[in-house]
Amino acid sequence: MRSICAMRSLLAAAAAASAPTVLRAGAFPLLPPLLSLPLRRGRAARNMLGAARTVSAAAQSRLGGGAAMDVRAAQSGEIHVIVGPMFAGKTTALLRRVQAEAGSGRTVVLIKSDKDNRYGLDSVVTHDGTKMACWALSELSSFHDKLGMEAYDKVDVIGIDEAQFFDDLYDFCCKAADRDGKIVVVAGLDGDYKRKKFGSVLDVVPLADSVTKLTARCELCGRRAFFTLRKTQETKTELIGGADVYMPVCRHHYLDGQVVIEATRVVLGLDRSTVTAQALK
C-alpha cells in the first residue's frame, strides 16, 4: 500500500496537470432557450401535426374520449439517458445531441438545475467551455407553466442537464415522452462520490429507449475512469464543485483515494466538514 505522502504527491501532481478531455469540444453557438427553425421535416413534421393532435387528445382525454389513446400511440416520444462520472463529457454529449436535433429542424429546449450556478444560470456550459442557453429550474414540473402551453406544444426535444438534482425527473419524463410525444435527453451522474445512486437518474432507465454510460480519464493513471472521487472531507451528497473538489478515477485509484482521505482524517484528527483538498496537496 502506498504511503500517505506518496499518495499526496500523486494527487498533487494530478491536480497540477491540466484536466483531461475525453470528448472534444464542439463549436456550438449560444442559442436562445427555445430554438425554432423554419425547416421541419421527417419526424419534425410529424411532431408538428402531433402537437396539434396532442391538444386535441388532451382535451378528449379530459372528457374521457377513447380516441385520445389512439392519437397518443401514433405520436410516440423517446427518452435517452446519458450517465457517467464527472468530467466524462456528459454535458458535451447532451449538447451535441440537442444541437443535432435542432439542425434537423426540430424545436429544442435545454433545462438545468438552478442548484448549479457555477457558470451562471442562463446557459449550460461544459467543462471545456462550450455553452448553450437554457432554463434553470428548481423542479421540472414548473417547466410547462414557465414556457407556456403554446410554446410547450411546439417543442420537439427537451434536454435535461445535471438531472440528478431533479426529484421529479421520473414523472416529468413519463409525461413528456408518453403523453406529449417529446424526445427527452437526460444527462446526469448515475452515482455520487460514494458510488451510490444519485437522485432519480437511474429511476428513468426503465423508461429509456437508450442508456449511454460515458467514462472519463483517471487523473492518477490515465486509464478509464468510472467513478468520481471527492477530494474533500465534506459528506453531504449534494456538493457543487469542479476539479477543485472532484476528480475522475479508475476503480483502483477510487479505492486508494478513499484510504488516503480516511487516513488523512484520522491522522490530522479532523472531525469537521470544512477541511478541503489542502490535506491532499
- Residues classed as catalytic: 162
Tell me the per-residue interface mask from 216 to 255 with Zn ion, x by CB under 5 A, - otherwise: --x-xx----------------------------x--x--
CB of 32 to Zn ion, least distance (A): 41
- Residue nearer to Zn ion on the CB measure, 144 or 223: 223
By CB under 5 A, the residues from 179 to 218 that bind Zn ion are: 218
CB of 161 to Zn ion, least distance (A): 27
- Residue nearer to Zn ion on the CB measure, 98 or 218: 218
CB of 254 to Zn ion, least distance (A): 8
What HEC string does the chain produce?
CCCHHHHHHHHHHHHHCCCCCCCCCCCCCCCCCEECCCCCCCHHHHHHHHHHHHHHHHHHHHCCCCHHHHHHHHCCCEEEEEECCCCCCHHHHHHHHHHHHHHCCCCEEEEEECCCCECECCEEECCCCCEEECEEECCHHHHHHHHCHHHHHHCCEEEEECHHHCCCHHHHHHHHHHHCCCEEEEEECCECCCCCECCCHHHHHHHCCEEEECCEECCCCCCEECEEEECCCCCCCCCCCCCCCEEEECHHHHHHHHHHHHHHHHHCCCCCCCCCHHHHC
Bridge pairing between strands 123-125 and 224-225: unpaired
**Structure-block grid coordinates of residue 86:** 464527472
CB of 221 to Zn ion, least distance (A): 3
How many residues touch Zn ion under the rule CB under 5 A: the total is 5
By CB under 5 A, the residues from 77 to 116 that bind Zn ion are: none
By CB under 5 A, the residues from 144 to 163 that bind Zn ion are: none
Burial of 165 (0-12, 13-18, 19+ CB in 10 A): buried
CB of 228 to Zn ion, least distance (A): 13
Calculate the CA 49 to chain-centre distance: 30
- Residue nearer to Zn ion on the CB measure, 86 or 220: 220
- Residue nearer to Zn ion on the CB measure, 124 or 220: 220
Residue 174, CA distances (Å) to 99, 177, 199 in order: 23, 6, 16
- Residue nearer to Zn ion on the CB measure, 51 or 218: 218
- Residue nearer to Zn ion on the CB measure, 44 or 220: 220
The answer to whether 11 contacts Zn ion (rule: CB under 5 A) is: no
CB of 22 to Zn ion, least distance (A): 14
Would you tell me which residues interact with Zn ion (CB under 5 A)?
218, 220-221, 250, 253
